[in-house]
Amino acid sequence: MFSPTFVQTASVCCLIAASFARPVLAQPSATPVESPPPIAEAPPPEAPIAQPDEVPLAPPVQVDSQQLITRFNHAIELMIRQNFSEAQAEFERIATLSVEPERQAAARELARQSAKRFGMLPPPPPAVPPKPEAVGTLPADDDDDGRSSFLVTTTLLGLNYGWMVPVALDVDDTKSFVGLYLLAAAGSFTVPYLLTRGDHITRGMSTLGSTGSYLGFAHGALAYSLLAGQDGADDPGGARALVGLMLAGSITEGALGYWWAQKNDSSPGQASSIALGSAWGLGYGAVGRLLASGENPGFRGSMAAMLAGSVGGMLGGYYYDELRKPSEGDSRLVSFSGLLGTYLAAVPLVLGEVEDARTIAGTLLVGASLGLYAGDLLTKDVTYNRGQSGVMMLGSLAGGLVGAGGAFMVSPDDENAGKWIIAGSSVGAIVGLYAMIQAVEPQKEGPDETSVTAQLSPILGPNGETGLGVVGSF
């Protein structure tokens, strides 16, 4: 259809057109062609912008109430006035009620400092733990404050147990009697030592265990007399039963006193108050029964009154310790003051030759009560240790002996010399005790202590601000 010439001519034209078309396509066109954007890495996701109503609110700052702040300042004033017992209790309550960590920490520290100054803070634990003891060796007892006195008491009790054991067992053979006596006396040291060798014996445990053993003799005798009556010990069988019950009462009460003091961590003051209260209860029960019944109170009634009075005295001594927290020296001084009051009340009875039983019992009861009250006043705001109380009691006894000796030297040579001696000894005992009160310096607790103290204490403001302040007494 087309000639070869035409085909060749068309091919050449296409080649020429193609050569011109390449430069044109390489030039930028009038209408720029958008190229696809380069693929870039996605940016990290940004945190969503919270709307104004979605911004979380900070928790409100808790601040102590003004009443609690006032109590905190009052506790600091108590500490400044050296009223440490009340300050300690107040700081402990504030530490429990406060919502501010700074005030809580400050209250706990000030409570600890108050307790330390009042003498109630327990001793710190030893820096180096004791070495474990080898099997079969005896423990070291040098650090046990009450162990020596406890073992001395049980050993002395063994001298009494020695004859009571063969009597209670109705042993008549001489060799057997002596053998049992020696075994019981030796066992009064060996058995308590082996039973308590793993315990730390405090003075409270020693006091209650020892006095419980002594009071157990009396309580056993009272219990037997209450059951058997006035003539219950007249026959040999009754006598053996009486001795056996006294022995059982002594061992039982001694063990119970030791266990109770160990379980309740009884202080020496508490143990002494309970023991002396029980002894005073015996006397109060007997006198109370006499006042209630007159000249013939009845044997079993008197035994029951004394036994009930002794139990009541134990409870009274326990609650007295809760009220006053006396030291062992304070408790002994209160009891000695009661004895001195009883003796002073007996002086007018002797001088007046009073014979009425109710009058004598009532006068002695009033004298003992006034003496105990005077002893409580003497030790209310001060603390005497065991040694100081012993010195004061010995000073009073020495004064009584001096008064008795002086009165005897100037007394007339007639039947009234005894009255002079009693009157002179009472005056001397009072003077001797007063002199010892002035000579012995107890540990005081009160605002009138003549000393200068100062210390740094944390101060907290109503808005939570903190700082340090100087407090003291001058």
Give the tens place of pLDDT for each residue, 313-368.
999 999 999 998 999 999 999 999 999 999 999 999 999 989 888 899 899 999 99
Q: Same structural domain for residues 200 and 240?
A: yes
In a domain, 413, yes or no: no
Nearest to 379 by CA among 467, 277, 269: 269
Whole-Å CA distances, 69 to 380, 463, 471, 472: 31, 10, 17, 20
Does a structural domain hold residue 314?
A: yes
- Give yes or no: residues 317 and 229 share one domain: yes
* Shared-domain flag, residues 104 and 193: no
Domain membership of residue 50 (yes or no) is: no
DSSP 282: H
The pLDDT assigned to 136 comes to: 39
Helix axes 268-293, 236-263, angle to 10 degrees: 140
Answer yes or no: is 139 within a domain: no
Helix axes 268-293, 357-378, angle to 10 degrees: 160
Nearest to 271 by CA among 228, 233, 314, 236: 314
Return the pLDDT at 58.
54
HSE of 102, CA atoms in CB hemisphere, 13 A: 16
Q: What is the pTM of this model?
A: 0.62
86 and 155 inside one domain = no
Q: How far apart are CA 101 and CA 20, in angstroms?
A: 91
| Residue 43, pLDDT score | 52
Domain check: are 111 and 152 in the same one?
A: no
Q: Which pLDDT score is estimated for 99? A: 84
Backbone angles phi, psi at 455, to 5 degrees: -160, 160
> What gap in Å lies between CA 418 and CA 361, rounded to an integer?
21
Please give the DSSP secondary-structure letter assigned to residue 457: E
Q: CA 286 to CA 48: how far, in whole Å? A: 91
For the chain, the domain total comes to: 2
Cα angle 92, 97, 103 (rounded to 5 degrees) comes to 75
Q: Tell me which residues of the chain have a pLDDT lower than 50.
A: 1-2, 6-7, 9, 11-42, 50, 52, 121, 128, 130-144, 445-474
pLDDT digits (tens, 9 = 90+) for 363-393: 999 999 999 999 999 998 889 998 999 999 9
Distance CA 398, CA 36 (A): 121
Q: pLDDT at position 167, please?
A: 87
Q: Are 371 and 333 in contact (CB under 8 A)?
A: no
Cβ atoms of 278 and 336 closer than 8 Å: no
112 and 174, same domain (yes or no): no
Reduce the DSSP state of residue 460 to 3 states and report it: strand
**Residue 280 and residue 190 share a domain:** yes
Domain end (from 325, 343, 360): 325
Q: Are residues 180 and 284 in the same domain?
A: yes
Instruction: Say what the pLDDT of residue 124 is.
Output: 54
Specify if 365 maps to a domain.
no
Residue 293 has a pLDDT of 81
For residue 91, tell me if it sits in a domain.
Answer: yes
Domain boundary among 299, 325, 351: 325
Taking the C-alpha atoms of residue 23 and residue 83, their distance in angstroms, rounded to an integer, is 110
Question: Which residue matches tokens 């026959």?
Answer: 235
| Alpha-carbon span 411 to 292, nearest angstrom | 39
- C-alpha span between 110 and 106 (Å, rounded): 6
**Domain span at 288:** 145-325
State the pLDDT at residue 165.
87
Tell me, yes or no, whether 372 lies in a domain. Answer: no
Per-residue pLDDT at 78: 82
Residues 108 and 189 in one domain: no
98 and 177 belong to one structural domain: no
